[in-house]
Amino acid sequence: MAAPRAAVSKGAARREPDARARRLARVLVSDILCYNREKRDQALLNGNLMAALGDEIKKSWELYKQKVGPDLANSTDYFKEALNDILTDGQKLF
């Protein structure tokens, strides 16, 4: 006999993809920082973060869109929030 399935509200069903998308955005941006900390630090001092890390950011954004779907990626600010929280240490550069 199969175990009964828990009922999931529409709100809860929507939050699950959002939570996964938010986590993925933070993981991808954390990886950018992990592998490019010195470059990021210098770019923040020089005011040229996009020039210094633009390729890495674009690659991560494309992977993010692929994993969460373009609709969710383009309709939320999760990736941008992760960039501002993690990559810029809270500065609102994105």
pLDDT at 50 over 70: yes
Whether 25 is in a domain gets the answer: no
Report how many domains make up the chain: 1
**Rounded distance, CA 89 to CA 85, Å?**
5
Whether 91 is in a domain gets the answer: yes
The predicted model scores a pTM of: 0.82
**Structural domain boundaries, residue 83:** 30-94
Per-residue tokens: 26? 């933070």
**Rounded distance, CA 94 to CA 88, Å?**
9
Whether 17 is in a domain gets the answer: no
Average pLDDT rounded to a whole number, residues 75-80 = 98
Whether 18 is in a domain gets the answer: no
Whether 53 is in a domain gets the answer: yes
More confident residue, 2 or 61: 61
